[in-house]
Amino acid sequence: MPTRETSWRCACGAYNAFAHDECEGCGLARSRASAQPEQVQARRCPVDGGPLEAIGWCERGRGYPAGLACPFACPLCRQALTWDGRCFACYGCTTGRREDWTIPGDRYELAGGHWRKVEGPQACLSADENRARLTSLVRELAEQMAGRVPDLGW
């Protein structure tokens, strides 16, 4: 089947192979105007109207427009990454053990309607490291809130 890149378009709207001089749909002869492939209109950024590169990069906004799916793939399993660099297919490891999980992609943050790179790949914390940091955070919050919250008698 002819595509936009390999065909000419007749006035009736049908696409025809370049080798054919007459429309397969209506029989009209190909005009000189339709002898050239159609010009594909450049994609525009929905945020600021700047031109988008093929991968979705907006030069004007210096990032990827908000609402665009992350175009990057995990280097290990080739599945889609999230904008914060996470891979929910393999979790950035080959062993499957939580202690080996990483965040294999770059981290992007939303600024001015565009996803902009903040930092590169990073290691995840182990379950024990998570517990220790959470305990420390709870202690610090309890100290800061001491005497500020009335006793509700619960």
How does DSSP assign 54-105, residue by residue?
TT--BTTTTBEETTPPP--B-TTT-PBPPTTS--TTTTT-SS--GGG-EE-S
The domain segmentation of the chain, as residue ranges, is 4-35, 68-147
| Residue 113: per-residue pLDDT | 93
| Residue 100: per-residue pLDDT | 84
| Residue 89: per-residue pLDDT | 94
| Residue 87: per-residue pLDDT | 93
102-103 and 122-123 beta bridge pairing: antiparallel
CA dist 30 to 16, 33, 50, 122, Å? 9, 8, 35, 58
Cα–Cα distance, 78 to 60 (Å, whole number) = 29
Q: What is the pLDDT of residues 37-68, one digit of tens each?
A: 555 567 899 999 889 998 899 999 999 999 88
| Residue 114: per-residue pLDDT | 94
**Closest residue by Cα to residue 68 from 57, 78, 79:** 57
CA dist 98 to 95, 105, 129, 137, Å? 9, 17, 12, 22
Spans of the chain below 70 pLDDT: 1-6, 31-41, 122-123, 149-154
CA dist 136 to 123, 140, 145, Å? 20, 6, 14
55 neighbors 115 (Cβ within 8 angstroms): no
